[in-house]
Structures are given as C-alpha cells and as structure tokens.
C-alpha cells in the first residue's frame, strides 16, 4: 500500500468509509487522504466535489497517501454514496436538535468498531469547508459525532476533523498498545539487584564520610533510597548506577 | 480573547505550554496556534524558529488565533524555554529507548490535568518539521508522548500532532460533556404516552386489516412495538408519530 515501506499496516479489515460532501478545495481533500492514511482508513467517497474529480491539487497535500486518492469513489448525491451503507455517522461542529445519538469521536469509534467487527458497513459524513453538513445530510445519518472544542474558537478545518475521528478509530484497533510500548527493552531490576546497589552505595558513602553523624544515618539512607526507588529502575539503570559509583570512587582515589 | 465572540471559553486556568523546537515554516506555527486555540491552549513558546519571530506567514494559517500568536515567547535554547517548567512531555513519532514513561496522548492528558490542577507548570515539546525532537530534547523531558498511527504511514505534520495532543487535553476539562449534550431538548417519552400511541396504532391497523389473521396478531403487535421501542422515543417523537397516524387515517378516508 504505502510504497516501499516494509512495515505491516495494523489493519487489513475494511474500516468505515469517509464521505466528504461538497468539499471545495482539492488541497483539503488531499489533506484528508493523508489524515486517513495515518490512521488506517483507506476508503474515501466524494459527493459533488466543487472542482470535480480527479483534482491534481489534492496530491501534494496527500503527502504520499496516493493509495487513498487512487481509489476515491465519486457520487452525485449523498444518498447514492450511502446506498450500500448500514450505519452512518454525521460529523457536525454545531449542535443540532435531531433526537439522535450524539457521540464524541471517542464514543463513536467504540460504536463503529463494534459494528465493523460485526460486518456492518459504516460511513462517516463530513461537510464542506464553508457550511459543514446541511440538515438533510444529518437527517440521513443514524448518529451524530460532535467534536468538543473551545466554544470561543470551535472552527476545525476539514482535514483536522477527519484526523480526530480517524485517530479515535485507530485507537480501538488491536495492537495499538504494542505500537506505543513494544516490549520494554531493559526489564525492571529485581529487588536483590537494587538492594545490592544500595548496600554498595551506602558502604561507599560511609567511607566517604557522607553518612555522618551515625545517629542520622538511618534517615539519610532512607532519603537516598527513596530518590532511587522513585525512578522505577531497570536492569540497565542499575548497571549504569553501579558504573557511576565505580567512576566516582576512582576519582576519589585519584585525589587521596 | 477570541475577538467579538461572546461565548465563554471553557478554561481560564493556565494549561500546559506548547513548546515548538526549531520550527521551520511560519505557516506551520500559525496552524499550531489555531489547533491550540481550538482546544483551549494559549501559551506557545518557540525555541530557535528557523525564520525568526515574529513571522507574518504564521498569521493567515492561524485563522484568527491571533491571541495565541501575540503572546508567543521566543527562546534560543530548549533549556531556557523550560527553565520555569516542572514537568515536561516530549512528543515523538519514533520509538526511543529512553527508559522513561511513554504515554499515549490520552494518558498524557490525564497525567497533565492532574499536575496542572495541583499547580505544576507543564510543557509539551514538539520537534521541527523535518527531524522531530533530537535526543537531547527527549532526555530533558520527564515523559514521552507517542501518538499511535499506522506503522506504514505514521508521519504526522506538526500542527496535526499539536491538534491531537490539544484535543486530548481539552477532553479532560470540566464541562466538555455539557458541550456535547447540552440538555436533551425533548425529554424521553413516558411509558404511558408510548402505550397510548401503541394502542391507537394497533387499533387503526386492525381497522385497516393489517393485523390479520387474529391468531397472528400478538406476534405482529410485538414486532411493531419492538421497532418503535428501539428508537428511544422522546415526547416530540411520540407527537410526530401520532401526527403520522392521523395523516395516514385521513388519506385512507379519502380513498374509501
């Protein structure tokens, strides 16, 4: 899909279709394609794009998401674009009194994931740059996605709205946590290794006269141990700290 | 803050600072300002912006987030920009083996919200367009924010990264749910109203010969009731449906 990249995409299963209704600028369509590709969405449908399709001003902004642009489907009317769809989400910036479920992007993603997993064909509608979705398009939807933003500055551009909804969709996929934390490279240190480090540290600190006078030593030792325990030491950390002790001892030896 | 808009922002409390390190394009700095304003973030710091500051190519892309641009602070070095900061998050696109906490934007926002509420000064670092943060900047941070994206197409632009982190921050604020669902305009219908509607509907359907033969009537009634019960009817919905019955009866009368 993405050219020469040898990594595997996280999903092969079809995600929701992204339906842009009366999008105006080719650049924005391209930016939407990029945002979709970032989050594993590959199916874009355009309804009555202002400047027709294909539109070569989309490509530079797609930033190599050519695989999304190359399979865009174009429709004259919203109802045609939704003919094979079973559950439709309308993304709106404004409140509409429509008596249908209103989801945040986070809630919508969970709902969508369950539907897609059950084999339902889902689509997410986004309106044009100027006016967003018109009421008829919202009526055609089963649910509304409302992106919460600062009431004094709530205007998101089209690609940003697609990005946020795509981002939430992606978070619901299996394997995302492994992307973020792909196995800890150095495992947490065992208590015995940490105890051994503390004993050596305290022994050397005592030799250096730091843990003095003796009646204050227990409290000082506790303070020192607390500092290092807060770190959540790994095996590698303990080795590094042992090296630091060795280095500092050598320097002390030089001076004496 | 946002000019003539009379709505109240959701936050007055200081949020985290957004620190852009070696940002290149003024346009991208402007787009970051807009993304920040969308999500209630107002404090931007620039470290060594390539084209200096102020940079008038930032303003059109800020799309009226002038209040963010007007209070930008500029620093020569990352350490200067972080001098008064108590907890630093570094946003990275790539894995780094740094043995420090790795958060998703969602997790980072919760952590940040708790720190800000406790009066801690927090900052979020974002690297330049080409290379992201260098390792020294990541070392200077207390934690890493990693945005999960499709491994085959994981490159987010700068403003998109700011948008996603800002979006998650905003979701943690009090009052967000009220923005999305500001009181249901029409309350859910009471069971008695729905029962009255069903009785009338079934009465009219019987007169129309639809609920026939009589031995199948109970199952047919159940099916009809199930359809409408799934809707989650409001007062207004029930009034609309009563109107539909009246309308259909009138038409039937016309024909007979």
CA angle B67, B72, B74 (to 5 degrees): 170
- pTM for the complete prediction? 0.75
Which one, of A68, A72, A111, A118, lies nearest residue A88 by Cα? Answer: A111
- The answer to whether the CB atoms of A10 and B167 lie below 8 A apart is no
Chain B, 63 to 82: residues with Cβ < 8 Å from chain A are: 63-65
- The answer to whether the CB atoms of A152 and B65 lie below 8 A apart is no
Predicted local confidence at residue B184, as pLDDT: 55
Which tokens in the block code for residue B64? 């009226």
Q: Cα distance from B256 to chain A (closest Cα, Å)?
A: 34
User: Is it the case that residue A255 has pLDDT exceeding 80?
Assistant: no
Q: Which range has highest mean pLDDT (A244-248, B80-84, B132-136, B153-157)?
A: B80-84
Binned at pLDDT 50, 70 and 90, residue B214 comes out as confident
Q: How many Å apart are CA A180 and CA A18, to the nearest integer? A: 26
- The answer to whether the CB atoms of A182 and B95 lie below 8 A apart is yes
Q: How many Å apart are CA A179 and CA A126, to the nearest integer? A: 29
Q: How many Å apart are CA B102 and CA A30, to the nearest integer? A: 31
Sheet-wide strand order for A73-75: A73-75, A44-47, A17-21, A122-126, A87-92, A143-146, A102-103
A159-201 residue pLDDT tens: 999 999 999 999 999 888 777 777 655 677 888 888 888 888 8
DSSP chain A: --TT--SPPS--S--PEEEEES---HHHHHHHHHHHHHTT---EEEES-TT-SS-TTHHHHHTT-HHHHTT-EEESSHHHHTTT-SEEEEEESS-----S-EE-HHHHHHHHHHHHHTT--EEEEE-BTTTB--HHHHHT-SEEEE----TTS----HHHHHHHHHHHHHHTSTTHHHHHS-S-SSPBPPHHHHHHHHHHHHHHHHHTT-S-SGGGHHHHHHHHHHHHHTT--BHHHHHHHHHHHHHHHHHHHHH-
Q: Which of A65, A99, A181 sits opposite B234 (nearest CB)?
A: A99
Which of A46-55, A141-150, B241-250 comes out lowest in average pLDDT? B241-250
Which one, of B95, B88, B108, lies nearest residue B149 by Cα? Answer: B95
B22-32 residue pLDDT tens: 999 999 999 99
Mean pLDDT, to the nearest integer, of A95-121? 87
Mean pLDDT, to the nearest integer, of B178-200? 79
User: Is it the case that residue A140 has pLDDT exceeding 90?
Assistant: no
B115-158 residue pLDDT tens: 998 889 999 999 998 888 998 899 889 999 999 999 888 889 99
- The answer to whether the CB atoms of A176 and B148 lie below 8 A apart is yes
User: Is it the case that residue B6 has pLDDT exceeding 50?
Assistant: no
Chain B, 199 to 228: residues with Cβ < 8 Å from chain A are: none
B12-24 residue pLDDT tens: 467 999 999 999 9
State the DSSP code for B82. T
The position carrying tokens 């807009």 is: B34
Chain B, 103 to 142: residues with Cβ < 8 Å from chain A are: 104, 106
Chain A residue numbers touching B65 (CB-CB < 8 A) = 153
Mean pLDDT of chain A: 86
Question: What percentage of chain A carries pLDDT values higher than 70?
Answer: 89
Q: Which of A7, A39, A151 sits opposite B179 (nearest CB)?
A: A151
Which tokens in the block code for residue B35? 């993304």
- The answer to whether the CB atoms of A102 and B180 lie below 8 A apart is yes
Q: Which of A10, A11, A150 sits opposite B37 (nearest CB)?
A: A150
Q: Which of B5, B37, B153 sits opposite A2 (nearest CB)?
A: B153
Q: How many Å apart are CA B113 and CA B100, to the nearest integer? A: 19
B155 touches chain A (CB under 8 A): yes
B26-59 residue pLDDT tens: 999 999 999 999 999 999 999 999 999 999 999 9
Question: How many CB contacts within 8 angstroms connect chain A with chain B?
Answer: 126
């Amino acid at each position: 899909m993405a050219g020469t990249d040898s990594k595997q995409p996280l999903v092969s299963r079809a995600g929701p279709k992204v339906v842009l209704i009366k999008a105006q600028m080719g650049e924005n369509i391209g930016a939407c394609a990029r945002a979709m590709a970032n989050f594993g969405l590959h199916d874009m449908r355009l309804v009555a794009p202002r400047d027709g399709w294909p539109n070569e001003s989309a490509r530079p902004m797609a930033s190599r998401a050519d695989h999304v642009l190359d399979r865009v489907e174009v429709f004259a009317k919203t109802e045609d674009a939704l003919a094979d769809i079973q559950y439709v989400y309308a993304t709106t910036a404004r409140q509409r009194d429509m008596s249908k479920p209103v989801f945040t992007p986070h809630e919508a993603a969970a709902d969508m994931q369950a539907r897609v997993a059950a084999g339902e064909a889902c689509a997410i509608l986004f309106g044009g740059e100027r006016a967003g979705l018109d009421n008829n398009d919202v009526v055609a939807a089963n649910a509304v996605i409302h992106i919460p933003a600062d009431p004094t500055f709530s205007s998101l551009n089209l690609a940003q709205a697609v990005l946020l909804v795509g981002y939430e969709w992606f978070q619901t996929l299996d394997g995302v946590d492994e992307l973020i934390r792909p196995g800890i490279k150095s495992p947490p240190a065992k208590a015995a290794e940490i105890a051994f480090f503390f004993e050596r540290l305290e022994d050397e600190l005592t030799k250096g006269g730091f843990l003095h006078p003796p009646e204050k030593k227990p409290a000082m030792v506790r303070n020192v141990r607390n500092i290092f325990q807060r770190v959540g030491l790994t095996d590698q950390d303990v080795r590094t700290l042992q090296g630091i002790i060795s280095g500092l001892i050598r320097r002390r030896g030089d001076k004496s």
